[in-house]
Amino acid sequence: MISPRFYIPLFLLSALLITTCAQVDNKNSITVEQLRDEIKANDNLIVLDVRNPSELKGPLGFIEGVVNIPVQDLKLRINELKEYKENDIAVICRSGNRSVTATNLLLENGFSAKNVLGGMNEYRKNK
């Protein structure tokens, strides 16, 4: 039987890792309000919507001028974004989960990308 003392350091290490990951994620995220400001102020901003094309026709709609590459296709289609390598990219999805994955993939490939917290749900709520 494993001693309860074994679990205390394991719990503390897990808590530390979760906290560290959350801080890194916030560094690479923006709020919907910040996105709206960036869209107005930054002509070089690219909004990448990583939802499926059918979702863009759904009730949440889409942001005018977005580039649409579904997250599950992004790794194979990342070269389509090559021309935007010097641009800031705001990555959005429905709720902000898929866009985290896409943002991390873009960052790993040398893009300047930020996840939009809350996604299109938040974007439409705060119109």
The domains of the chain are located at 28-125
Spot the catalytic one: 93, 106, 116, 120: 93
pTM of the complete model = 0.80
**Is the pLDDT assigned to residue 100 strictly greater than 90?**
yes
- Mean pLDDT over the full length of the chain: 87
The yes or no reply on domain 28-125 and CATH 3.60.70.12 is: no
Across 31-42, average pLDDT = 97
CA dist 39 and 85 (Å) reads 18
Percent of the chain with pLDDT over 70: 79
**Residue 21 annotated as catalytic:** no
Q: What is the dihedral of CA 94, 99, 102, 106, to 10 degrees?
A: 130
What are the pLDDT digits (tens) for 57-71?
Answer: 999 999 999 999 999
Phi-psi region of 65 (alpha: psi -120 to 50; beta: other; left: phi over 0): left
